Structure 1
Amino acid sequence: MAERLDVTGAWQRVSMRYAFVESIATVVTWAVVGVGATVPLWFATDGEMPLWAWLPLAGAVVLTVLGVVFAFLRTRTIGYLERPDDLLVRRGMLFRRFVAVPYGRMQVVDITQGPVERMFGLRSLKFVTAAASSAIVIPGMPGTTAEELRDRLVAVSESRRAGL
């Protein structure tokens, strides 16, 4: 499918290792839901579970597989493009989102790293501007890339403060 936003430049994609981070979250979530819905049925049926009682666990397995597949597809859609006046961030498969963050409006550029991201050597870069709903996150960036981009963005935003 062709890009509908006509922007020249080389988009930088996040690491595909981020798909594994998302997959682990999906597996854990659906395992808890599946087991949490099946175990009470096991106790309610005195240990002899009829076939229908396994449906919640089977549904959780199907949703886990779909979630893992979509994690890899979603990861391919996340990217960013450094332009002369702003940083353009994109994400989304079905509902695409393109956000342009002007360098002069950036107030905070933050790097976060959860335990699973740490296992894969990834970090998330978060930009905050003066607007209330303007927290933009670029997840799945390798450590050195995230730090270099943060340093570049801080330097550029300091030189272009827009009346703040």
Structure 2
Amino acid sequence: MKAAIIAASATIIAALIAGVVKLLEPKPTPPNPDNHRTLKLPQTIQKKSPLRISPSPSVEKLAQDLQAVNISFSARELRNQLNNSYSQYPQFANGCLKFLENRRLKQELFFDMIFWNYTQELGGKPNPNSPDGNLDAEILKAAMVTAHNGRYSNKASSFEDIVEPKE
């Protein structure tokens, strides 16, 4: 009889270990929205808003100066490249402004299209950088005329057709 009790006990223990018999295990309760606990973050983390990188004041001024000569961007994301020190947009923008001086475009042109046309004239190798910030005037004129003709039905035959004195 002692052997039978030991065998039965061993079977019960083995079953408990294997998880076949679940004695005294609490039943899971369904989630209750009223009992929902939220993670409490430190005050310093709770008050912070998502990270947003604002363009520097010089970038804002550069964008305004471009707009004043009727140069804008085809997409907002491209304008943000004026804030990218690894992009050639900031130097190219300054070069365009320096080139136009006291003139402005008669009709709005997209900066990115002017840049594209300029680099294509250079054989696809963008190199608007120069020590004094100057761009190749003839290539820039051609790039602006090409951008104008690609956007508007009134086709220009020369750079002078698309610029006017700045007011």
* TM-score w.r.t. length of structure 2: 0.22
Per chain length, whose mean CA-contact separation is higher, i.e. which structure has more relative contact order (CA < 8 Å, sep 6+)? Answer: 1
TM-score by length of 1: 0.22
Structure showing greater Rg: 2
